Amino acid sequence: MGLRAVISRIYRGEISADIVGRPKVWYSISGLLIVFSLVGLLVQGLTFGVEFKGGSVFTIAKASHHSIEDVRGAVTSAGVHQTTVQKAGGNWRVTTESLDPKHVNEVKKDVAQKLGVSENDVSSQIVGASWGGEITKKAWQALIVFMILIIGYLSVAFEWRMAVAAMVALLHDLVITAGIYAWSGFEVTPATVLGFLTILGYSLYDAVVVFDMIKEVTRPLNAKSRITYSEAANQALSSTLVRSLNTSLVAILPVAAILFIGTTLFGAGTLKDLSLALFVGMIVGTYSSICVATPLLVQLKEREPRYRELRQNIAKREQSPKQQAKVAKAAAARPPTDDEDAPPADEPSAEGPQGEVPAGVTLRKAVQGPRQQPKRGTRQQRRGK
């Protein structure tokens, strides 16, 4: 069966994927992704934009026919050492270290002269480091408040185990997205922060849909049920798998269009920061809600006494017929012993010492039971003889 046929059967719901039953596989994949991301964060590091670290920003219009090397050379020739050049639409956006107002005016004149544009086509902006620090502080505050609200909602609407599984999946998504962002070398801008907050909400949405279905399917389970909690959870996950994949695909397609088409053909500028965070976060969020949050939830639930008792009862019911079949098979395959082949001890043997039958001896079957004595008759009958 080809891959296309398997995918088609999965979408039609004809195949139930055993996702819950293979947690080691998913945890191994997540572990590799997390290690890859942590290496990127430690080695490559995040490149913070001017909005966070402060600096000067120059926007150059009517110079789209120049290359990125021409623009960088025009800026650095004016005595600027740290430059980041990006193309936003038909304009060039250059960020540098913090410059004093006098130096900024000198850079504008040199850039306009070397690129052949008017000095009015070169605008500048000075961003202080304190403003960037305030943005960072507010971003962390928003993330903490978001986490607290989500934990409270999931604990009340579902239970604390589901809240724990969802939080682990969220941290999983944040670390991997941040690591891939570090490897890409994109600048961290306020748009990036908005993208991170957006993927948190999207990841939780998918997890809540799966958890709600699991809660509905596992509610009737009791000590006499025929399936365990993990099997019931896997059935619930399989029933929502197609919906999760379709929802993710529909959401990812426009984001991919912004990231790959908008930035390359139209120069979307800072939109690429937002689109990269959304693109990576949506893919990782869909994976984590299905392959990380759900198996972790099942492992936590299986520790409850009632579900542990249910698993033991099912194991006993399955073991009894198997044990009987195993004993019967062993008895049929066992060879007969010497005692079973030997003749009975009270059966006389007419064979001689060498196993030969003496002449004149007729073999007769031994008669079992009491010996019959001949009738002797009465005293008068004997006298009459």
> What pLDDT, in 10s, does the model give residues 56-108?
888 888 777 777 788 888 788 777 777 777 776 677 888 877 777 778 888 88
pLDDT on residue 264:
62
pTM score, whole prediction: 0.70
Domain 17-48+131-314 sits in which CATH superfamily? Multidrug efflux transporter AcrB transmembrane domain (1.20.1640.10)
In 3D space, the residue among 304, 255, 298 whose CA is nearest the CA of residue 277 turns out to be: 255
Q: Contact, 127 vs 190, CB < 8 A? A: no
| Residue 131: band (very low, low, confident or very high) from pLDDT cuts 50, 70, 90 | low
pLDDT on residue 47:
80
Higher-pLDDT residue of 339, 176: 176
Task: Give DSSP secondary structure letters for 290-315.
Answer: IIIIHHHHHHHHTTSHHHHHHHHHHH
> Residue 222 corresponds to which amino acid?
N
**Averaged pLDDT score across all residues of the chain:** 76
Residue-range domain boundaries for the chain: 17-48+131-314, 55-127
Q: Is the dihedral of CA 120, 123, 126, 131 positive or negative?
A: positive
pLDDT on residue 383:
54
* Mean pLDDT of the 148-154 span: 83
What fold characterizes domain 55-127?
Alpha-Beta Plaits (3.30.70)
Whether pLDDT at 246 is above 70: yes
